[in-house]
Structure 1
Amino acid sequence: MSAKLIATLLLVVAAGAVAAPKAGKPSAPGKYAKVNGLELYYELHGSGRPLILLHGGLGSSGIFGENLRALAKHRQVIAVDLQGHGRTADIDRPLSVELMADDIAALIKHLKLGRVDVMGYSLGGGVALQTAIRHPAVVNKVVAISAVIRRSAYHSEILEQQGQVNEGALEMMKQTPMYQSYVEIAPRPQDFGRLLAKIGEAMKQDFDFSKQVAQIQVPVLVMAADSDLFPPSHAVEVFGLLGGGKRDGGWDGSGRPKSALAILPGLTHYNIFADPRIVSTTLPFLDEAAR
């Protein structure tokens, strides 16, 4: 199995979007919060209404690059490194979107933020949705980018390949920018193989959060690439569970649902997080008064 294939399976960032490592380990510009047994790393950018920003698998808060800076011109962005990723060291528990959602809710309470908007890509999008499901009292709005809510929604070739991900891929992954970026900032660089094993195990687990998503009460922006890891119809399905697409919106927009749907053209799972359209699509949704 090639390193390129592994990178595809892991739902991670495009190789070209990760900076090459620098000599020596850079100092951390952010802070740590002790939550749920984790030393959870986060950075504060900008000012204004708070927005939690969550990366994808094998990434870190730095993957958003210019988009993070663009969001920070309008919001106080709290960019988090999830369990076992970036500058947040792993602990002895599985990787799951539910447990990571609990971490985000604990961070929100730790920072005394009240109700906040939560925006996530891929793995982070799943965590954002779970935060709204499990901790509705701390969530105002959700932006879920390239996130699936049931395993069977992935394209068949992705499902077939997911079973090949394990710690044995470590040597191949050492040639990729994902590995190089990880060891540059991770508290324990030797844990990369462990992270691969945990992600591989998580990807083998079946899941279907349709019923839980249908119970979400806050507005959700469902966003996907038109050539994502799943067909656009899955994003439409999620939108429908949230009350979208049930009737005509009306000439004055009065029939619109409180949630929204955006399928961005000409993009894939591996470049949507870096496209400026995610910012230009997200900000009007977050700024709109609740319907």
Structure 2
Amino acid sequence: MKKMLLSLLLLFTIGAQAQTPKIKYGDNPEAGHYATVNGIKMYYETYGEGKPLLLLHGNGGSIKGHTGRIEHFKSKYKVIAVDSRAHGKTQDPGDTLTYEKMTADINALLDYLKIDSCYVWGQSDGGIIGLELAIDYPKKVKRLAVFGANVQPDSTAVFPELLRWVDKTLATAKNDNERRLLLLLKNHPHIEYAALAKIKVPVLVMSGDRDAIKLEHSIKIFQNIPKANLFIMPGATHFGSYEKTDLFFKVLDDFFTAPFSTKATTDILK
């Protein structure tokens, strides 16, 4: 548990360290650009061609953590990987950080890139932003997959060990940016379950069976989204998308390409 918790603010480098590609994702001048959105310069990189696929990292992460995903998806999609506000190469001059601001940034970036709608993948905080995007800017999302996302910041959603770790780490935060990222974990998000019902696009709710987010919380998210599928990765933590990449890609590829279904067993028996 301790190792998992510490990983939350170690830039999600598990995936990046697992491979040694020739391309330096997250610091690639050939693919990297800045867009001025909502008063900040947002850094993003694009790879490949085809339907747009947006990759959203977790708290403390950056494009670098998407190394394996970019390698996998760039031959099938136009991949847009971003450094969220106050992460990676995207700075934030403000003193508060919210998922609403970060979501508005993503919406503005998609407008800047003239992307009407796209597939969206989000890890942890990136999943929260993905849910917010589907609620507040529904036309921007074609399909959404999230891993380890929560819609409340308290013990109904997150294991108490993680909440205690955030409080303890806040007391010894090394700088203002780290403190803001920790406060984001501690105080946000606050997405009403009723708001999830507004999401009309297909959503894949993913979680490790030993995630930092309580299993019952992930199930409740799934149950409140009209067109949702649920995938619980066996023997996986909050970082299951890095730990079992073959399984992860198989499930995600199927979700993005196969016809979507919410058919239940009771429907078959009718």
Q: Which TM-score tier does this pair reach, normalised by the shorter chain?
A: 0.7 to 0.9
Query: Bigger shift: 131-140 or 206-215?
Result: 206-215
Identify which of 85, 88, 102 aligns with 2:87.
85
Counterpart Cα distance in 1 of 2:14 and 2:251 = 25
Q: What SS does structure 1 have at the residue aligned with 2:234?
A: strand
Q: Does 1:225 align with 2:208?
A: yes
Query: What are the Cα deviations for residues 201-248 of structure 1, in whole angstroms up to 9, with x where unaligned?
Result: 2223154312221221111110111110022222211110013xxxxx
What does residue 266 of structure 2 align with? none
Where has structure 1 moved over 4 Å in runs of 4 or more? 3-6, 8-12, 14-19, 25-28
Q: What SS does structure 2 have at the residue aligned with 1:223?
A: strand
Q: Does 1:138 align with 2:179?
A: no
Counterpart Cα distance in 1 of 2:228 and 2:61 = 27
What does residue 161 of structure 1 align with? 165
What does residue 201 of structure 1 align with? 183
What does residue 180 of structure 1 align with? none
Q: What SS does structure 2 have at the residue aligned with 1:266?
A: coil
Q: How far did 1:30 drift? A: 0.6
Q: Does 1:286 align with 2:268?
A: no
Q: Is the 8 A contact 2:11 2:62 kept in 1?
A: no
Q: How far did 1:15 drift? A: 5.6
Identify which of 225, 235, 238 aligns with 1:266.
235
Q: How far did 1:8 drift? A: 4.5
Q: Is the 8 A contact 2:147 2:206 kept in 1?
A: yes
Residue identity over aligned pairs, in percent, reads 33
Q: What SS does structure 2 have at the residue aligned with 1:169?
A: coil
Q: Is the 8 A contact 1:6 1:165 kept in 2?
A: no
Q: CA 1:150–1:132 in structure 2 vs 1: closer, same or farther (change >3 Å)? A: same
- The answer to which structure, 1 or 2, has the higher relative contact order (CA under 8 A, 6+ apart) is 1
Which amino acid is the alignment partner of residue 122 of structure 2? G
Counterpart Cα distance in 2 of 1:270 and 1:222 = 14
Q: CA 1:52–1:92 in structure 2 vs 1: closer, same or farther (change >3 Å)? A: same
Q: Is the 8 A contact 2:127 2:146 kept in 1?
A: yes
Counterpart Cα distance in 1 of 2:188 and 2:68 = 35
What does residue 238 of structure 1 align with? 221
The 5 Å alignment of 1:182-193 reads: 193=175
What does residue 12 of structure 2 align with? 13
Q: CA 1:59–1:28 in structure 2 vs 1: closer, same or farther (change >3 Å)? A: farther
Query: Bigger shift: 29-38 or 273-282?
Result: 273-282
Counterpart Cα distance in 2 of 1:26 and 1:225 = 31
Q: CA 1:263–1:206 in structure 2 vs 1: closer, same or farther (change >3 Å)? A: same
Q: Is the 8 A contact 1:83 1:91 kept in 2?
A: no
Q: What SS does structure 1 have at the residue aligned with 2:161?
A: helix
Q: Is the 8 A contact 2:135 2:198 kept in 1?
A: yes
Q: CA 1:9–1:52 in structure 2 vs 1: closer, same or farther (change >3 Å)? A: closer
What does residue 45 of structure 1 align with? 47
Q: Identify unmatched segments of 5+ residues in structure 1.
A: 171-192, 244-257
Q: CA 1:266–1:14 in structure 2 vs 1: closer, same or farther (change >3 Å)? A: farther
What does residue 153 of structure 2 align with? 151
What does residue 246 of structure 1 align with? none
Q: How far did 1:16 drift? A: 8.0
Q: Is the 8 A contact 2:8 2:59 kept in 1?
A: no
> How many residue pairs align between the two structures?
249
Counterpart Cα distance in 1 of 2:180 and 2:242 = 23
Q: How far did 1:48 drift? A: 0.7
Q: How far did 1:10 drift? A: 4.3
Q: How far did 1:66 drift? A: 1.9
**TM-score after normalising by structure 1:** 0.77
Q: Is the 8 A contact 1:117 1:139 kept in 2?
A: yes
Query: What are the Cα deviations for residues 42-80 of structure 1, in whole angstroms up to 9, with x where unaligned?
Result: 111111100110111111112122222111121111000
Q: What SS does structure 2 have at the residue aligned with 1:218?
A: coil
Q: Is the 8 A contact 1:221 1:285 kept in 2?
A: yes
Q: CA 1:9–1:290 in structure 2 vs 1: closer, same or farther (change >3 Å)? A: closer
Q: CA RMSD, aligned part only?
A: 2.5
Which amino acid is the alignment partner of residue 50 of structure 2? G
